């Protein structure tokens, strides 16, 4: 067994990898895994403070200003860099994945392996409205959602206020709005703050229990190779926002529904389904799919799932073996940069369960002793944008 695993790793020694989105929290873990496989990695960053630039693992780093905001600049930068000859292209976030899967890069570089889900499945997952539609068609619990062919009056006859509204496309809680009355909803629409065709409008689920993410690796026949559920105990802002502390848990209902949803979408590759536990009926309900490679990939590595190796095996058309044993449970994943803010702001700071001060069997999204600098560069880079980031998450 050990020799087989070793030979799989040796297959990728010396492979040239272009790793995009060098500013993402995912990058340090991905770089470490690629380094362990012996790959030669170039990171594409926008700033010298990006974690993909400050990490010790890349063989080469390039900085291209404007790639976060301008799709054309990003596409041109990717295509130009690929002229240097690469074996693997590794998009991380939605924007770069959209660029890399539209067929244009594959036409230019037919031998290039692109780490991404099938484009049709990715586009369905990126659109939260299509995700909700797939859930409802397949009996997967999700919030009551306004359908495209439904009038607002018909929808409101099926739900009670408050409502939740969020952009169809996007990540995190940016653009999220909690709506308390019909008058408030009508005002948002009249002011252009909510465009019904561009927003998912659904019942509001109180964030008073917990959230759960399920990470799944699907092969090209839509069979799950492994899965891991991660239960979120703390989030910031404290009244609702992205998680800042979570633990791996055994959650069969969540896992089964995540796999069911991915099969319904024709998904293959690595993906994440987010659930929120509805305290009103004690049912975990799907809130979105993260088609990007999420920052939670680090806990997959820590738990023993070797996700990057599986991604490469799939990209090269090699048969993957399901991993059912040896996945560690009870591991903590902390986003220290916001978890410290939770400690300062939450009235439950000294009564939290799990205890905030318990660091046993915990890892941080970004920090590692073998590669510590990205943790500090990330803090410096995001301190300057903190107010702007929080403004996006105001309800």
Percent above pLDDT 90 for the chain: 86
Average pLDDT over residues 164-192: 89
pLDDT at 1: 41
pLDDT digit string, tens, across residues 347-380: 999 999 999 999 999 999 999 999 999 999 999 9
pTM of the model: 0.92
Residue 336 CA to residue 332 CA, distance in Å, equals 12
pLDDT digit string, tens, across residues 226-255: 999 999 999 998 887 789 999 999 999 999
pLDDT at residue 149 above 80?
yes
Q: Angle at CA 155, nearest 5°, toward 153 and 159?
A: 115
| Topology (CATH level 3) of domain 16-116 | Rossmann fold (3.40.50)
pLDDT digit string, tens, across residues 304-351: 999 999 999 999 999 889 987 888 999 999 999 999 999 999 999 999
> CA 322: distance to chain centroid?
22
- Mean pLDDT of the residues in the chain: 93
pLDDT at 240: 76
Q: How confident is the model at residue 208 (pLDDT cuts 50, 70, 90)?
A: confident
8 A C-beta contact, residue 286 and residue 242? no
Helices (H), the chain: 2-10, 27-36, 51-54, 71-82, 94-101, 104-108, 119-126, 128-137, 152-156, 182-191, 252-265, 297-303, 307-315, 336-345, 373-383, 386-392
| Topology (CATH level 3) of domain 144-203 | Dna Ligase; domain 1 (3.30.1490)
Percent above pLDDT 70 for the chain: 95
pLDDT at 15: 98
8 A C-beta contact, residue 216 and residue 262? yes
pLDDT at residue 88 above 90?
yes
Domain boundaries, the chain: 16-116, 144-203, 211-364
pLDDT at 388: 64
Q: What is the DSSP string of 46-109?
A: SSTTSHHHH-S--SEEEE-TTTTT-HHHHHHHHHHHHTT--SEEE--SHHHHHHHHSSHHHHH-
Average pLDDT over residues 8-24: 94
pLDDT at residue 216 above 90?
yes
| Topology (CATH level 3) of domain 211-364 | D-amino Acid Aminotransferase; Chain A, domain 1 (3.30.470)
Sign of CA dihedral 365, 367, 368, 372: positive
> CA 37: distance to chain centroid?
23
Closest CA to 292 of 69, 113, 126, 176: 126
pLDDT digit string, tens, across residues 49-66: 999 999 999 999 999 999
pLDDT digit string, tens, across residues 275-303: 999 999 999 999 999 888 999 999 999 99
pLDDT at 386: 66
Report which secondary-structure segment, H or E, holds 230: strand 224-235
3-class SS at 228?
strand
pLDDT at 172: 60
């Amino acid at each position: 067994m050990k020799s087989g695993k070793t030979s799989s790793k040796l297959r990728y020694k010396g492979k040239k990898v272009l790793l995009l989105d060098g500013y993402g929290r995912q990058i340090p873990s991905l770089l470490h895994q690629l380094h362990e496989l012996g790959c030669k990695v170039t990171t594409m960053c926008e700033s010298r403070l990006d974690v993909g630039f400050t990490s010790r693992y890349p063989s080469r780093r390039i900085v291209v200003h404007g790639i976060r905001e301008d799709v054309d600049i990003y596409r041109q930068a990717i295509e130009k860099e690929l002229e240097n000859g690469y074996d693997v292209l590794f998009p991380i976030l939605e924007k770069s994945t959209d660029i890399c899967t539209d067929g244009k890069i594959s036409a230019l570089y037919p031998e290039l392996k692109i780490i991404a889900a099938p484009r049709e499945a990715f586009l369905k997952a990126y659109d939260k409205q299509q995700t909700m539609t797939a859930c409802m068609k397949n009996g997967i619990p999700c919030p009551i959602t306004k359908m495209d062919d439904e009038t607002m009056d018909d929808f409101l006859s099926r739900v009670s206020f408050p409502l939740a509204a969020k952009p169809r496309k996007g990540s995190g809680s940016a653009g999220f709005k909690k709506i308390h009355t019909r008058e408030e909803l009508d005002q948002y629409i009249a002011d252009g703050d909510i465009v019904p065709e561009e927003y998912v409008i659904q019942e509001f689920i109180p964030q008073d229990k917990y959230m759960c993410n399920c990470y799944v690796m699907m092969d090209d026949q839509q069979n799950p190779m492994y899965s891991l559920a991660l239960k979120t105990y703390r989030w910031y802002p404290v009244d609702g926002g992205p998680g800042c502390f979570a633990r791996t848990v055994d959650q069969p209902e969540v896992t089964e529904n995540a796999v069911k949803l991915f099969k319904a979408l024709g998904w293959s590759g690595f993906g994440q389904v987010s659930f929120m536990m509805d305290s009103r009926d004690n049912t975990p309900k799907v809130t979105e799919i993260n088609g990007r490679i999420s920052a939670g990939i680090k806990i997959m590595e820590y738990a023993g799932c070797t996700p990057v190796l599986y991604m490469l095996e799939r990209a090269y058309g090699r048969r993957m073996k399901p991993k059912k044993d040896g996945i560690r449970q009870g591991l903590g994943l902390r986003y220290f940069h916001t978890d410290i803010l939770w400690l300062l702001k939450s009235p439950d700071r000294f009564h939290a369960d799990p205890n905030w001060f318990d660091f046993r069997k915990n890892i941080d999204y970004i920090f590692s002793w073998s590669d510590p600098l990205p943790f500090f560069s990330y803090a410096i880079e995001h301190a300057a944008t903190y107010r702007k980031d929080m403004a996006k998450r105001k309800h």
